[in-house]
Structure 1
């Protein structure tokens, strides 16, 4: 993947992360605020607590989201600070409710559970410490008031939080795990394939060639290794620039892929050198496919400048004298150089 594309993807992921956390915070604090409000109503709380609850439950999610957007270089650090503040405020409301059992337990558990999911056990312990310290300080301000009894109206007020928020966390976790799998698949693909051409990179193509040679050595199953070189590619780079040279490579790769069978393995062996592993194939069959590719390349207009290119091709079948994949490649490479020595734009079969 090009660096610019990778950077764009990273920026999109940061933006989505902030939005995802905003939605979960708005939902969790809104539902949690309902639980706290039911207890404050029973206790006849002063107006200042109601104003603080409204700010925490309904205004803070928007402010937290703006903080993350303002720290795009370090969004995780800003979000971890937001989560720590969430936990501290949770401790404050537990003390403000005089430790009413059900809503206090819900706040403590839910605010710790999402920290474990996001930052792991270590981060959860840190935020739990912030919750406990804030709770202790606020409780001291209220004279360590302790009234754990939960009334039936408060139980009803807690049910939406108890039912909806865990399901929302489950859905968000599932979405994250699916995206993680997609990222893993993308990284594996990037590790196996050449970014510019979409063909297998050198390492993976050599692995495929080694596996096919081993099959020949076990089963005497025929195979052909093909090496292809774009003729006078250096002249293209020197005369037209590397951008045009890159276009020629990419367009040639498209022609090559169009000629591959489902069982063939194409790869980029070097800058302008390509390879094909053709299993269960004799050289007579391979030379027909190679000739078709050679003709298509010669007739093709490369890039917007209408460049004409040719290719030299070397083929090699494994035989008892080939003991390793290096021997097999050297055989095809020798044929390729003989093709160049014969004037290029031709095919030679190695010994």
Structure 2
């Protein structure tokens, strides 16, 4: 009835039938654990909401001649139901759907208590507002409408079956008793919303890192690196800027893998990545273009400066030895292409650099070759 549903893992698109969690690509155990987290997140908010809401309903019932079993039901619902709801959802084969059912029970009971109070204006408005807010936060418009329908139905049934007269007027004493619920629950709702926003921000950063970075080296992956290259090409065309593109290949990398294993091959890739990051500027964009191939976008840099930077990388490599294969000497072949305004697209720029790289490899490797743009 009075719980906060906002959290970063659950919404109608994810949990209700037809949402993406119904996709067969998700393992059942992942869905089950996520559902348990969902139910667990609602446990404390439900305790807070029902505990403070108890006093709102009590402030009206003490002024009405209601039978004792209403009081028993109110106590059980306010102080026992939160624990029972969590346990049943937590041990359910489908915790998320079990928790959705719990929310519908909360909506139904919200209408019951509104009816028992004779639709006393302030407590009823607080219950209705909080329940609607919760359902929207959990399941969007669909769950909101289902919950609103249940509230209206249970309220009408309660008023009709038990012949409860309307009691719309809220007394000053009832206003004071409702204040804790009015103050405590929205504050708690805001706190959970704030924590949710922080978690969403952290998840977004992690997802962004995962989608743009190479898992082993930490530099940009090929897809994102090409997006950045496209942007750099457009900026150079638009603002008449200069830039140089490099493609770097580790010489005889396949032989290293075949002779010494993939662990040594990985060491070689990480070593090249480290030396590139130590030598190049922070503004230079390094990406893993392929298995043993790297791309570098050097904005505002001439090809002469780029060649000098690669010479410094080679100086580092001359003194470097792989930890598990110290007798191996690492070397690189490099293709360089400076931006030319006559290029039709960034792919033409990339192709020119690739041709220069293969030229360096065909001429004996361990060298840098410049693209012949005129060709």
TM category (shorter chain) comes to 0.7 to 0.9
Mapping of 1:207-222 within 5 angstroms?
207-217=227-237, 221-222=241-242
Q: Can you list the C-alpha shifts for 1:187-206, whole angstroms capped at 9, x where unaligned?
A: 44443333333222223322
Q: Can you list the C-alpha shifts for 1:231-279, whole angstroms capped at 9, x where unaligned?
A: 2333344445556545543453333223331221111212221110112
Per the TM alignment, residue 91 of structure 1 is displaced from its structure 2 partner at its CA by: 1.4
Q: Measure the CA separation in 1 of the matches of 2:122 and 2:340.
A: 78
Q: Measure the CA separation in 1 of the matches of 2:279 and 2:30.
A: 32
Distance 1:288 1:85, change over 3 A: same
Q: Measure the CA separation in 2 of the matches of 1:248 and 1:205.
A: 21
Between 167-176 and 256-265, the greater mean CA deviation after superposition: 167-176
8 Å contact 1:248–1:303 — kept in the other structure? no
Q: Can you list the C-alpha shifts for 1:55-88, whole angstroms capped at 9, x where unaligned?
A: 21122222333344335x8554333222111111
Map of 1:35 onto structure 2: 56
**Partner of residue 186 from structure 2, selected from 158, 163, 166:** 166
Per the TM alignment, residue 322 of structure 1 is displaced from its structure 2 partner at its CA by: 4.4
Map of 1:284 onto structure 2: 304
1:194 paired with 2:214, answer: yes
Q: Can you list the C-alpha shifts for 1:10-66, whole angstroms capped at 9, x where unaligned?
A: 999766644432222111111111111222333354443333222211222223333
Map of 2:159 onto structure 1: 139
Structure 2 SS opposite 1:42: coil
**Partner of residue 269 from structure 2, selected from 224, 233, 249:** 249
Q: Measure the CA separation in 1 of the matches of 2:325 and 2:87.
A: 49
Normalised to the residue count of structure 2, the TM-score between the two structures is: 0.78
Q: Measure the CA separation in 2 of the matches of 1:264 and 1:323.
A: 23
1:229 paired with 2:254, answer: no
Which of the two has greater helix per residue? 1
Distance 1:212 1:137, change over 3 A: closer
Q: Measure the CA separation in 1 of the matches of 2:267 and 2:132.
A: 53
Q: Measure the CA separation in 1 of the matches of 2:325 and 2:37.
A: 41
Count of residue pairs the alignment pairs up:
345
Mapping of 1:35-184 within 5 angstroms?
35-43=56-64, 45-71=66-92, 74-184=94-204
Structure 1 regions of 5+ residues with no counterpart?
1-5
Per the TM alignment, residue 333 of structure 1 is displaced from its structure 2 partner at its CA by: 1.9
Q: Can you list the C-alpha shifts for 1:132-157, whole angstroms capped at 9, x where unaligned?
A: 22223333342244333433332221
Q: Measure the CA separation in 1 of the matches of 2:304 and 2:319.
A: 23
1:333 paired with 2:357, answer: no
Q: Measure the CA separation in 1 of the matches of 2:276 and 2:126.
A: 61
Q: Measure the CA separation in 2 of the matches of 1:25 and 1:103.
A: 17
TM-align CA RMSD: 3.3
Q: Measure the CA separation in 2 of the matches of 1:65 and 1:101.
A: 31
